[in-house]
Amino acid sequence: MPLAGLAFLVAIAPPLPEQRSPAEDIRLRSNGEAFRYLPNNEAYALDFDPRQVQIDLLEGWDREQDAFNDTGALAYVSGPMYERHVNNSGQEITVPLGDLKLGARVWRGRNRTAARQRAFIGIRHNGQVDFGYGELTPQRAGLYESFIGGLHSIYNDLESPPPEYRGAYSISMGQLIRYYLPRIRMVIGLRNDGRLEVLMSRDGLTLEQTKALARQRGLRAAYLPDHASKSRLIIPGVKGFSQEDANWISGGATSFVHVPYMLRLSQRLVPLRGDLLASLTPRHGSGGCSNPLQCGQTLGSQIVDRALAGFNRLMEQGVEPIARMIWEPKGRKPANGSNLRSPLREPPITADPMALRALQESEQNGLSGEEKLPLAPDLPPPLLLLDGQDLPANPEATSADPSLAAPTPQADAVSPATAQPPGSMPQGAAPPAPPPLPLPPMP
pLDDT digits (tens, 9 = 90+) for 228-268: 668 888 999 887 665 554 444 444 454 567 888 999 999 99
pLDDT digits (tens, 9 = 90+) for 291-320: 777 677 667 777 776 777 677 667 666 666
Q: For 238-284, where are the E strands, in sequence order?
A: 261-267
Contact criterion met (CB below 8 Å) for 164 and 135: no
Q: Where does residue 42 rank: exposed (0-12), middle (13-18), buried (19+ CB within 10 A)? A: middle
Query: Residue type at 414?
Result: V
pLDDT attached to residue 252: 45
Residue of 287 and 139 predicted with greater confidence: 139
pLDDT attached to residue 137: 93
Number of Cβ within 10 Å of residue 89's Cβ equals 9
Percent of the chain with pLDDT over 90: 26
Q: Where are the alpha helices (DSSP H) in 247-395?
A: 247-250, 292-314, 320-326, 354-364
3-class SS of residue 109 = coil
Residue 132 has pLDDT above 60, yes or no: yes
pLDDT digits (tens, 9 = 90+) for 348-375: 566 677 777 777 666 666 655 455 556 6
Angle at alpha carbon of residue 107, lines to 101 and 113, rounded to 5°: 100
Model-wide pTM > 0.85: no
Residues 6+ apart with CB under 8 A from 17: 42, 209, 212, 213, 215, 216
From the list 111, 110, 98, the residue with the least C-alpha distance to 140 is 98
Instruction: Calculate the average pLDDT of the chain.
Output: 74
Greatest mean pLDDT among 3-7, 214-218, 249-253 = 214-218
pLDDT attached to residue 197: 96
The mean pLDDT value for 73-102 works out to 86
3-class SS of residue 329 = coil
Residue of 354 and 43 predicted with greater confidence: 43
Q: For residue 67, what is the enclosing H or E element?
A: helix 64-69
Residue 38 to residue 32: CA distance in whole angstroms: 15
pLDDT attached to residue 202: 79
Q: Say what angle helices 2-12 and 292-314 make with each other, to 10 degrees.
A: 70
Q: Where does residue 259 rank: exposed (0-12), middle (13-18), buried (19+ CB within 10 A)? A: buried
Spell out a b/e string for 4-22, using b for 16 or more CB atoms within 10 Å of the CB, else e. eeeeebbebbeebbeeeee
Minimum mean pLDDT range among 75-84, 125-134, 416-425: 416-425
Q: Where does residue 164 rank: exposed (0-12), middle (13-18), buried (19+ CB within 10 A)? A: exposed
Where does the pLDDT of residue 2 fall: very low under 50, low under 70, confident under 90, or very high at 90 and above?
confident
